[in-house]
């Protein structure tokens, strides 16, 4: 969505959002190949797109003066539910079309729905509403400095797990170890 404002800052955000959308496509399609060093560097640089989208969502949330975070989170949860329902036939096929037991399929499906890994792109919507809700709760109990510190620590752990574990020779996934999913 393009917000029409008289500020040059909003227009530059729209341009960067477009570039970041191209970068997200690049992350998933590996246009420079996955084995070339240029592909590794490009993919690493492209990964700035997702944190930018999270940051810009928060910025635009607050610039509008819309401080009713519960209403905003509710809209994201509804969006998440609608997309989950639209994707449900594919989700069921993916989770139950494997060579694993019914119990394990149901468990994996519930984990996917809970942690936002049930369909492509679901993790972003899921993480957006969970992040905004957690930020809201933390801001009620902690100072802005402590909230910022917690956010930077969580971001760093997530970045190490998803983007830089290969460079650091880390085990396959910290999230798998702690939450039981990949």
Ranked by mean pLDDT, the top range of 6-10, 89-93, 118-122, 147-151 is: 147-151
Predicted local distance difference test score (pLDDT) of residue 110: 77
Closest CA to 127 of 158, 152, 164: 158
Evaluate if residue 76 carries a pLDDT over 80.
Answer: yes
Per-residue pLDDT tens over the stretch 26-42: 877 777 665 555 556 66
* pLDDT confidence bin for 171, thresholds 50/70/90: low
* pLDDT confidence bin for 150, thresholds 50/70/90: very high
| Residue 125 to residue 34: CA distance in whole angstroms | 27
Evaluate if residue 141 carries a pLDDT over 90.
Answer: yes
Evaluate if residue 137 carries a pLDDT over 80.
Answer: yes
Predicted local distance difference test score (pLDDT) of residue 45: 79
- State residue 21 phi and psi, 5-degree precision: -60, -40
Lowest model confidence (mean pLDDT) among 25-29, 49-53, 136-140 = 25-29
CB 120 within 8 A of CB 114: no
Threshold 0.75, pTM exceeds: no
């Amino acid at each position: 969505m393009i917000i029409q404002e008289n500020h040059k800052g909003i227009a530059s955000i729209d341009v960067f959002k477009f570039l970041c959308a191209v970068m997200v496509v690049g992350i998933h399609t590996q246009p420079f190949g996955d084995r070339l060093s240029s592909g590794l560097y490009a993919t690493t640089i492209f990964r700035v797109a997702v944190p930018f989208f999270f940051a810009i969502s928060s910025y635009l949330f607050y610039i509008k003066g819309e401080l009713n975070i519960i209403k905003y989170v509710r809209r994201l949860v509804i969006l998440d539910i609608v997309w989950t329902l639209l994707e449900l036939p594919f989700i069921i096929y993916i989770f139950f079309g494997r060579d694993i037991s019914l119990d394990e399929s149901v468990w994996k499906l519930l984990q996917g729905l809970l942690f936002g890994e049930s369909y492509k792109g679901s993790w972003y919507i899921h993480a957006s509403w969970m992040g905004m809700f957690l930020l809201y709760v933390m801001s009620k109990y902690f100072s802005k400095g402590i909230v910022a510190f917690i956010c930077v620590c969580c971001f760093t752990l997530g970045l190490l797990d998803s983007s830089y574990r290969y460079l650091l020779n880390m085990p396959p996934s910290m999230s798998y170890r702690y939450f039981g999913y990949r």
